[in-house]
Chain A
Amino acid sequence: MEKHKPWFLIPVLALIWCFLSGALNLANFVMGLLVGSLTVFWFRPFFPWHTSLLRLFRKVPAFLRYLRRFLYELAKANVQVAYLALHPKMPIRPGIISFHTRHRSALGTTLLANSITLTPGTLTMDVSPDGRTLFIHTLDVSNPEEVREGIRRGLEDYTLGVAE
């Protein structure tokens, strides 16, 4: 029990409390800290991993880089789906490909899997029990190696910076 101390969550919960109560001010933040402390105290056995606020802050630049890349990919994905959905012949060659991830943590794999789902032509379907292999449904698998390389360079490089 001792090693689970997710105290870094308290300010995060306080911020969410501010957003929910509808005004960003000090009174709400203090109230959020109180409620957050109680929540974290009660639920700390359920929280599997620990990090410090400092380590969290150090991830911010990597996260912003990832976010920029992700938003660009999300926009591209939407234009692609719009094009395919409105194209009279619908030129798709769907298939399921496997992808070996370099992620070793559950958080990292989850982040990558969710990002893959929201980026062009790919949708995570399943993860192998050891968490090393993702199975990805792809709208265009004329060249599976190209799709894998695209995910590796376009997303995994960024998510590795955030969550490993």
Chain B
Amino acid sequence: MINLITGLLIGIGTFFIVVGSIGLIRFPDVLNRMHATTKTTTLGACSILLAATVKYGNSPIGLKSFLALWFLLITAPTGAHMIARAAYRVRVRLATDRMVADDLEGVAERFGYPPEQDQDQPI
């Protein structure tokens, strides 16, 4: 029974990490790619860690996996947030042909964003 649950969790985790990697390659720009990487790796890694917790229970491996799970839930979105913010600040070229709204445009200067750079030199 425990083996069944463990296998199922590892299967789910692996599937979503693979799909996330495919998404990372296929999505058009850095912001869309962050969607693919944060969500899938969080669930993927968390279910694999949960599998380790279920399998090993009250032992060093099991307990540390359980702890790592919570820290991952806190740090993964924070990391994505910082990458997205940095990318927008240094004006990485976005897939503007597909974008339909940008509420940050215009107000961004007020938040201490660097001024518009020469767009001929994309980063």
Interface of A toward B, CB cutoff 8 Å: 16, 18-24, 74-75, 77-78, 81-82, 84-86, 90, 92-98, 113-115, 117-118, 121, 123-126, 128-129, 135, 137, 139, 141-142, 144
Given A22-B59, A75-B43, check contact A141 B74 (CB 8 Å): no
The answer to whether A135 touches B58, judged by C-beta atoms less than 8 angstroms apart, is no
The answer to whether B35 touches A121, judged by C-beta atoms less than 8 angstroms apart, is yes
Instruction: State A126–B40 Cα separation when bound (angstroms).
Output: 21
Q: Which residues of A contact B92 (CB under 8 A)?
A: none
Q: Main secondary structure on chain A at its contact with chain B?
A: mixed
Partner among A24, A74, A135, A142 whose Cβ is within 8 Å of the Cβ of B103: A135
B-side interface residues, number (CB < 8 Å): 49
Partner among A16, A78, A90, A144 whose Cβ is within 8 Å of the Cβ of B101: A144
Q: Which residue of A lies closest to B31 (CB)?
A: A137
Given A78-B43, A81-B20, check contact A125 B103 (CB 8 Å): no
19 more contacts with CB within 8 A, not counting A94-B29, A117-B38, are A22-B64, A23-B58, A74-B39, A74-B43, A77-B39, A81-B35, A90-B27, A94-B95, A95-B101, A95-B102, A96-B31, A97-B101, A114-B74, A117-B80, A123-B31, A124-B84, A137-B31, A137-B34, A137-B84
